[in-house]
């Protein structure tokens, strides 16, 4: 069965200024690489719908959601900063609603057996967005909106969210810490932005802080020892991935030394887990990844393993 590839042209209209690294070209780098590698033929494209307020309010506070809806600038050349590195332009609100809506559609598609897996090529990313706060290029927490939708609309009891972005998924942890229907696993460079996660106490959080210069071998060993037994014991009915590729050795956003085979490996492990427990259901949502060539190659590898035979 081929893979659902969910995106939307609106996700290209969110821009945070000439010198910002979180740029629309990230999505072009992904689609260009998928065409060049021949992977394109294995994808079914879907337009991401806009998440409605009701869906956003499952994981965000009402006054925060209203602030984003009402602060969105209308003039095309205006930026409204909501955090030190996070700004809204005229296209941001729709892009952010599409990004969250993509995760919801991906879940609907896998839960109704239209596809076993989905990849959401969306921006802005989401995993730093907390219940009440935008930060780190994120507005709505896309993967959390998706998980809450799966719990509310598909009656699931156990969802795993695995976040292999190089930064701690502080927003996702903020939203789900203590909610034992969700097992949240985040690996990240530590100490590093945003500084959280190394001493989390919540029983449903399996954080994996790793030092700068962590390479593929060290990363795989840590995942094997900590996440995989925990995920197997949890027996998730659905696996969501916060898929950030900024731990790539070519990405100077951070200081991990991962390469495409490492992203392939972790994806294959998650796919195998999904085959054991979740009828192969995996929905992956793009987070970081700023070195354009490395991002395109890594996503292509990731998608190849999401499709792959178990």
Active site residues: 128
Q: How far is the CB of 131 from Zn ion (least distance, A)?
A: 19
Q: Which two tokens stand for residue 56?
A: 């956003």
* Pairing mode, strands 238-243 and 159-163: parallel
Q: CA 284 → CA 21, 180, 212, distances in Å?
A: 22, 21, 25
Q: Which of 130, 163, 165, 280 binds Zn ion (CB under 5 A)?
A: 165
Q: Which one, 165 or 305, has the nearer CB to Zn ion?
A: 165
In the complex with Zn ion, the residue whose CB is nearer, 165 or 237, is 165
14 binds Zn ion (CB under 5 A): no
Q: Which residue is closest to Zn ion by CB?
A: 288
Tokens of 175: 């939203």
Nearer to Zn ion, 92 or 186 (CB): 186
Q: Which of 149, 167, 190, 248 binds Zn ion (CB under 5 A)?
A: 167
* CA–CA dist 165, 197 (Å, integer): 13
Task: Check residue 91 for interaction with Zn ion (CB under 5 A).
Answer: no
- 150-158, 215-223, 236-244, 294-302 -> range binding Zn ion (CB under 5 A): 236-244
Q: Could you tell me the smallest distance in angstroms from the CB atom of residue 165 to Zn ion?
A: 4
**Contact indicator for 206, 249 with CB cutoff of 8 Å:** no
| Nearer to Zn ion among residue 90 and residue 223 (C-beta) | 223
Of 23-31, 93-101, 163-171, 291-299, which segment contacts Zn ion by CB under 5 A? 163-171
Output 10 or 165, the one with its CB closest to Zn ion: 165
Mark 250-289 with x for binding to Zn ion (rule: CB under 5 A) and - for no binding: --------------------------------------x-
- By CB under 5 A, tell whether 244 contacts Zn ion: yes
Total residues at interface with Zn ion (CB under 5 A): 5
Among 22, 246, 262, 305, binds Zn ion (CB under 5 A): 246
Q: In this structure, are residues 285 and 126 in contact, taking their beta carbons and an 8 Å threshold?
A: yes
Residue (46 or 137) nearer to Zn ion, CB:
137
* Angle (nearest 5°) at CA 116 between 115 and 118: 75
**10 vs 246 by CB, closer to Zn ion:** 246
Contact between 256 and 189 (Cβ < 8 Å):
yes
User: In whole angstroms, how close is the CB of 184 to Zn ion at the nearest point?
Assistant: 16
Shortest Cβ 181–Zn ion spacing (Å):
25
Binding site for Zn ion (CB under 5 A): 165, 167, 244, 246, 288
């Amino acid at each position: 069965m081929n893979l659902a590839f969910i995106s939307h042209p609106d996700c290209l209209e969110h821009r945070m200024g000439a010198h910002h690294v979180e740029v629309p070209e990230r999505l072009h780098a992904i689609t260009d690489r998928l065409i060049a590698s021949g992977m394109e033929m294995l994808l079914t494209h879907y337009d991401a719908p806009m998440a409605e307020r009701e869906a956003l309010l499952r994981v965000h506070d009402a006054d925060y959601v209203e602030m984003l809806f009402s602060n969105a600038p209308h003039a095309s050349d205006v930026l409204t900063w909501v955090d030190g590195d996070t700004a809204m332009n005229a296209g941001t609100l729709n892009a952010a609603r599409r990004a969250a809506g993509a995760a919801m559609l991906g879940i609907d598609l896998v839960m109704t057996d239209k596809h076993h897996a989905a990849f959401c090529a969306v921006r802005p990313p989401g995993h730093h967005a907390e219940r009440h706060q935008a930060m780190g290029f994120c507005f709505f927490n896309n993967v959390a909106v998706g998980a809450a939708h799966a719990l509310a609309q598909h009656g699931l009891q156990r969802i795993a969210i695995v976040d292999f972005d190089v930064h701690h998924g502080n927003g996702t942890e903020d939203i789900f810490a203590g909610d034992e229907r969700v097992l949240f696993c985040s690996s990240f460079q530590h100490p590093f932005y945003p500084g959280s996660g190394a001493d989390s106490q919540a029983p449903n959080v399996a954080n994996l802080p790793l030092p700068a210069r962590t390479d593929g071998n060290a990363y795989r060993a840590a995942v094997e020892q900590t996440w995989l037994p925990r995920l197997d014991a949890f027996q998730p009915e659905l696996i969501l991935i916060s898929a950030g590729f900024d731990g790539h050795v070519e990405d100077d956003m951070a200081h991990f030394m991962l390469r495409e085979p490492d992203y392939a490996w972790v994806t294959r492990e998650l796919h195998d887990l999904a085959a054991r427990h979740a009828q192969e259901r995996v929905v992956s949502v793009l987070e970081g990844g700023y070195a354009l060539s490395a991002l395109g190659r890594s996503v292509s590898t990731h998608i190849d393993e999401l499709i792959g035979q178990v």
